Amino acid sequence: MNDFLHKLPQFVNHHLALSALFVILLIALIVTFIAERFRKFKELSPASLTMMMNRENPLLVDISPRDSFEKGHIPGAKHVLMSQFDPENKDLTKAKSMPVVLICRSGQTAQGAAKRLVKAGFEKVYYLGGGMGAWSQAQMPVVKGKQ
C-alpha cells in the first residue's frame, strides 16, 4: 500500500487526462448518490411493491402507452396516458395522503411523473424501478387487456 501511494503522483503526472476523467466520474457518482438519497420519491423493486400492495393498498398508476398497457399490466393498476397525466386532477388529488406508485415500461417516465406528483404536494410517491420489464422478469402476475 505504501508503494502505491509513492507511485500515485507519478501516475497522475503521466496520465493527466485519465486521472481527471476518474475524478469527474467519482464526483458524478457521489452527486447522483446524494441526489437519490434526498429526493422526495422512492424507487421500489417488484418485491417491495408486492409487499406494499399487500400491506398498504397503494394507488397504482400505469402511464405506459395504451398498447403497452393492454399487452400487460399489474393487476389493479389504473391506466393514464402520460399526455393526460395531471397531478391536479380531482380524482388523483383525493389520493394525496395515500401511497401512489407510478409504473411505465422502463421506469424512466415514471420518475418524471413522480417529480410532478411531489411538486403537487403528494406525500408518499414511489415508482417501479425497471418498470414493467422488471416486473415481468421477476415473474410477477400480469393482466392483459383493458382495465
Partners of 128 in the β-ladder: 44
How far, in Å, CA of 41 to CA of 143, rounded? 26
Q: What angle do CA 35, 92, 126 make, to 5 degrees?
A: 30
How far, in Å, CA of 94 to CA of 91, rounded? 6
| Pair 44, 128: CB distance under 8 Å | yes
| Residue 54 cell numbers, joined | 399487500
Distance of CA 55 to the CA centre of its chain: 21
How far, in Å, CA of 44 to CA of 50, rounded? 9
Give the type of residue at 72: G
| Residue 100 cell numbers, joined | 401512489
Residue 104 annotated among the catalytic residues of the structure: yes
Active-site annotation holder among 53, 61, 104, 128: 104
**Catalytic residue positions, numbered:** 104
